[in-house]
Every structure is written in C-alpha cells, then in structure tokens.
Structure 1
Amino acid sequence: MQTITETQTSEILAMAPEKKYRMQIVWRNVLLMIALHLASLYTITILHTAAPLTLAWTLLCIIISEVGVTAGAHRLWAHKSYKAKLPLRILLAFFNSMAFQNSILEWSRDHRSHHKFSETDADPHNSNRGFFFCHIGWLLVKKHPDVAKKGKGIDLSDLYDDHVVMFQNRFYLPSVLLMCFIVPIAVPMYWGETFLMSYLMCLLRYCLVLNCTWMVNSVAHMWGYRPYDKNINPAENSFVALLASGEGYHNYHHVFPYDYSTSEYGVKLNLTTTFIDTMALFGLATHRRKVSPEVLAARIKRTGQ
C-alpha cells in the first residue's frame, strides 16, 4: 500500500480551497454600544441641567482620556516615538484606563497590526470594508482570522519588558472601574451634582472619546488630502485632528509613524504634541523623534499628491 508523506500531505492541504470567511456578529457588543449611544443622546438633551463645574470636569476627563490614548498607547507605546520617565509612564497608564479602549498591550498590538497590514484583512479596522466597519463595526463582529493569524508575528517584546504596561494589563479591569467610572462619577457629587447626572455625564464622556478615536480609523482614512503619499488611504483631516487631539494628520502619520508629533506642523491643532513638549520641559519626556526636512521634502516629491 502506498503511503502519503508529510510533504505530500502539506501540498494537498495547501491546494485545498480555504474556508470562506463569514462575519459573525457579537450581539453583546452591539447591545452595549446601542445602550451607550442612546444614553449619550439622552444626556445631550438634558445637558443644560448639569452644573457648570460638572461640564468643566467632563471636558477635563475627555482631555485626560484622549491623552491617555494618543500620548500613551499610541505615540509612546505603539510607536516608541519618544521616551518617558517612570512617573510619566505611570500617569499615562492611569489616563489610558480612563479611556477604556483595551489595555495598552492590546491596543498597541492592534495598532501595530493596523500599520503593518493596513487596508488588508489582517488590519483590525480595514477601511476597505466601508465606513461603518472601520468606525465601529469592527468592534461588533469577531475579528477576521487573518488579524489573529498575522498578528501573532507582531513583535511586542518591548511592551512585555515594560513593567508599567504589564501592571496595567494585569489589573486592567480594576483600573478601568476606578478611572473610567468611580472617579469621574464621584468628583461631581462633591459639589452637589446628583448621582444620575454624574453617571450620565460619565457615559457621554466615554462615548464622545470613543467616537473621536474611531474617527481616526474612519474619517481620516477616507476624506482629506494626501500630500505625502497619494497611494494610501490615510489622509490629512484637520477636523479629526481637532477632535482627536492631533491624530488627524493621518497621511503623514502612516508615512512617518515614528514621528512623535504625528504631523509636520508641530503643535498646530495638536494637543498631544503640546502635552509631550510640556512634559519634556520637566524632563519627563525625552528622545522625541522627528522627520528631517530633507527626508520630508524627498518623500513629498516622490509620492506626494
């Protein structure tokens, strides 16, 4: 009897047609997101009844949450575009927990996959699958198999070596409970705000920050101009830059992901760059990486729109 070798088995499996990907909806996430957005819409209608200090506190929490994502998970940990001393890393980890967008480790892993496999099935929020998918839909369905398969090859050794990252990852849920909910709700009650209004404002803040972050994946991948590389989807979008603390200069960022400012224009509509520069004045942020004018001009000439 003729036997089949391992090599022949591998060849047969390779020739076999791949199982067609079928999107699977995660209904729990769908229901939670519907509830969050409905509660946020309701809160907007009664916003005028909130105390002025509550509105100011909510705005501060929005800024803190965004900085935890932009200066922390994104520019520091995902791209290593600058270095931060231990006190700043701890502060950014707490800020990041207020944003509640997955731990620094998970967020950075997904973002590195997004850059390495941009606009392919291995991109967690592939914009070629439409606006709704890359904005929020990618969180409402199970990830494409390629995301997990190719994502395993992403190097995360620097994150595993960072004690702050691993501590936050280990105690992520308690830190989210504290920073995303308990603190934002408790503080307004100190000056007499009701628990219900504090809770609703907390949900509104969370919803707004989520959508501002998602706009970088959706709006800034579809609309805008492409002065650095006309051949890719990410675009320069000042509106997103304003709402997402400087993250809307997306054509530049995808061409030069190592630039700590994610923009050619420094602090222009870029709250995150202002924050990092301020931390540098105190010696807490160092080694801020920037694209040289020569490299910038050469790239614009070669692939710019």
Structure 2
Amino acid sequence: MSPKSDETLLEKIDEIDKYPTKAAAWNYRISYKGVLAMGYFHLAAIYGLYLSITSAKSATILFSLGVTAGAHRLWSHRSYKATLPLQIILMLFQSMCLQYTVINWVRQHRLHHKYSDTDADPHNASRGFFFSHLGWTLVEEHDEVTKRITQIDVSDATSNPVLRFQKEYAYPVIGMMCFVLPTVIPVIFWGETINVAWHVNMLRYALTLHGTFLINSAAHIYGNRPYDTNISPTQNTLVSLAICGEGFHNYHHTFPWDYRAAELGNTLLNLSTMFINLCAWFGWAYDLKTVTDDMIKARARKTGDGTHMTTYMEVNK
C-alpha cells in the first residue's frame, strides 16, 4: 500500500473515531414519509379521542391501554434474562407499539446511550424539546447517525430466534398486534363499530408514542440530576407517571444495567419493575442485575447535584 493510501485510510479512521458534536449546524432534510405517517396517526388519534368521549364503549377504551416491556430492559441492556414464554409475550407486547422491530429498537437505543445528546443520537436533546420529542421522526437522519449506527453491536439480538422471527415476519406480526387485533376484538366481543374501534386504537398508539417520546425529550431536559450532573438525562416524576417508571432517567443513564431503572425499584411509579418482579416470582425472569446501595451513594456523592436525599442526609450529619 502506498504512503498516500495509508494517509487516506488514517484520515477515514480519524473521521469515524472523532466524537460527534452536541448540535452542530445542520440542514434538515424533511422525511415526507415521516410527515405523512405522523400526520395521519395524530389526526386519527384526535378523532379517536372525540369518539372516546362521545360514543366509544368503556370496554373499548380500557382494552386500548397497551402494556410494553422487554425491548428496553431485557434486550437493549440485558439487565435480566427471560424464559422463552416470557420472551414471546414481551415480543408481542413490543409489536403492539409499532416502534420498529426489537432488533432495530435495540440498535437505535444502544446508539442513543453511546452517543447520548450528540449528533449521533437519533433524538438529540441538544436540539431542543420539539426535535427530541417528535421532530426527529419528521426529518432524515443526521449523517452521524447513519455513519455510527453500523458500528453498534446487536449480535446478541440478531441471534435470538424470537427476535429473528419478529424481524422476518415484521409486517404480519406487527400489523396483527398493533392494528388488526386491537380493532377486531372490540368489534367481535362487545359489538363496537369498526370506525370507533380503529380510531380509539389510533389514540392508544399515539399515546404510547408520546409516552416513549417524553423519555427522549422531557427526561433529557427538565428535572434533577442526583446521580450524575455530567449527563443530560434527568429525574422526572411526571414522565415516570406517564410511562410507568422510565422517568428516573438520570439513574438509568448512570446505571443502565440495573433492571429496575430506578433506585430501589421505585415500585410506586415503576410498573415495569413490578411486572419483572412478578415474572421473577413465577420463575420466568431471572439473573436480575442491580446496583449496590453503596455504589449508588458513592456515585451520588461524587457526581450528583445534591438532591439525592440519602447522600444529602449522610453528608450533612
């Protein structure tokens, strides 16, 4: 190889290794597919809200409150292990949400953690609330995302037969779980109209999306940082209320391998932890990873903002 070729190769390596900026100047390219999809889902959800108030049966509204678990704590962070029956259930729950396949979700989420709040983060909170909440779905990916996502290792996910099945049959599996069954079941079992069932389901889907998006936006901008002030994620009680415990985000980004995603589980607001604990009681979830109290306190003392009450009381004895 010639010296010139060596120099070119080194320049390419340096370009890849260079850490992405927080929010460099960027010419947004509108994703018309994203605009059309989000436009329809939100208009349908607004109509679904109207129907929920005026004509939907109460059973239809209750049925449309979805449950999600697995893609985040189990497969993205491998914070616990699950038996085959639980994995199938969690894969089907995730399919109800239409947020990529699990394999794609894991790849995007690991990229988010590795380059959080930089241009390589798909929903970079450094670009403001709207972009990190919804705007990132309306534009083409930043070049840093496109470049670095190929470096993310998801071999554990792609080798999982349950997740491979979902990816191979993504359209029928996700279509059935997210759109067909939530529409057909109310029609068959309690005589709901197709129009009402469909639009109330669109409301469910939109609420699920916005619940997840609040973690990307509000929980990266507003709140306290009791464990690490050097990162953007925060502790946000309102987000925890909206999304079943994922608002303890400063804790989660500090200790991403903890299956509880919150100190001591915070089970009052953390329904996902309660669900995993219940599955562990049945023997379906096991090898649950946690962080010791001493490690939590030491980290809060070292890098926290002083709002961690246990540390605050000990330091000020």
For normalisation by structure 2, the TM-score amounts to: 0.88
SS in 2 for 1:5: helix
The answer on whether the counterparts of 2:48 and 2:201 sit within 8 Å (CA) in structure 1 is no
Q: Which residue of 2 is the match for residue 108 of structure 1? A: 106
CA deviation map 1:119-142 (0-9, x unaligned)? 111111110011111111111111
Q: Which residue of 1 is the match for residue 35 of structure 2? A: 30
> Aligned pair 1:236/2:235, yes or no?
yes
* 1:42 shift after superposition: 2.2
Match of 2:60 among 43, 54, 57: 54
- Give unpaired runs (5+ residues) of structure 2: 16-24, 306-317
Tell me which amino acid in the other structure corresponds to 2:194.
Answer: F
CA deviation map 1:246-275 (0-9, x unaligned)? 111000000000000100041120110011
SS in 1 for 2:140: coil
Tell me which amino acid in the other structure corresponds to 2:27.
Answer: R
Identical amino acids, percent of aligned pairs: 44
CA RMSD between the two structures: 1.9
Q: Which residue of 1 is the match for residue 135 of structure 2? A: 137
After the TM superposition, which residues 107-256 of structure 1 pair with which residues of structure 2 at under 5 Å, given as runs? 107-189=105-187, 190-256=189-255
* 1:43 shift after superposition: 2.1
Q: Which residue of 1 is the match for residue 50 of structure 2? A: 45
Answer with 211-220 or 132-141: which moved more: 132-141
* 1:148 shift after superposition: 2.2
Q: Report the CA distance shift for 1:12/1:47 in structure 2 as closer, same or farther (over 3 A).
A: closer
Q: Which residue of 2 is the match for residue 96 of structure 1? A: 94
Q: Report the CA distance shift for 1:293/1:33 in structure 2 as closer, same or farther (over 3 A).
A: same
Q: Report the CA distance shift for 1:255/1:192 in structure 2 as closer, same or farther (over 3 A).
A: same
* 1:11 shift after superposition: 7.3
CA deviation map 1:92-136 (0-9, x unaligned)? 111111110000000000000000111111111110011111111
Tell me which amino acid in the other structure corresponds to 2:49.
Answer: I
Tell me which amino acid in the other structure corresponds to 2:127.
Answer: R
CA deviation map 1:66-114 (0-9, x unaligned)? x2xxx31000000000000000001111111111000000000000000
Tell me which amino acid in the other structure corresponds to 1:95.
Answer: F
Q: Report the CA distance shift for 1:175/1:14 in structure 2 as closer, same or farther (over 3 A).
A: closer
Tell me which amino acid in the other structure corresponds to 2:199.
Answer: L
* 1:4 shift after superposition: 7.9
Q: Report the CA distance shift for 1:193/1:149 in structure 2 as closer, same or farther (over 3 A).
A: same
CA distance in 2 between partners of 1:245 and 1:51 (Å): 25
After the TM superposition, which residues 277-296 of structure 1 pair with which residues of structure 2 at under 5 Å, given as runs? 277-296=277-296
Q: Report the CA distance shift for 1:4/1:288 in structure 2 as closer, same or farther (over 3 A).
A: closer
The answer on whether the counterparts of 2:101 and 2:170 sit within 8 Å (CA) in structure 1 is yes
The answer on whether the counterparts of 2:51 and 2:200 sit within 8 Å (CA) in structure 1 is no
* 1:223 shift after superposition: 0.5
> Aligned pair 1:301/2:306, yes or no?
no
Q: Report the CA distance shift for 1:14/1:86 in structure 2 as closer, same or farther (over 3 A).
A: closer
- Give unpaired runs (5+ residues) of structure 1: none
The answer on whether the counterparts of 2:234 and 2:250 sit within 8 Å (CA) in structure 1 is yes
Structure 1 runs, 4 residues or longer, greater than 3 Å off: 7-16
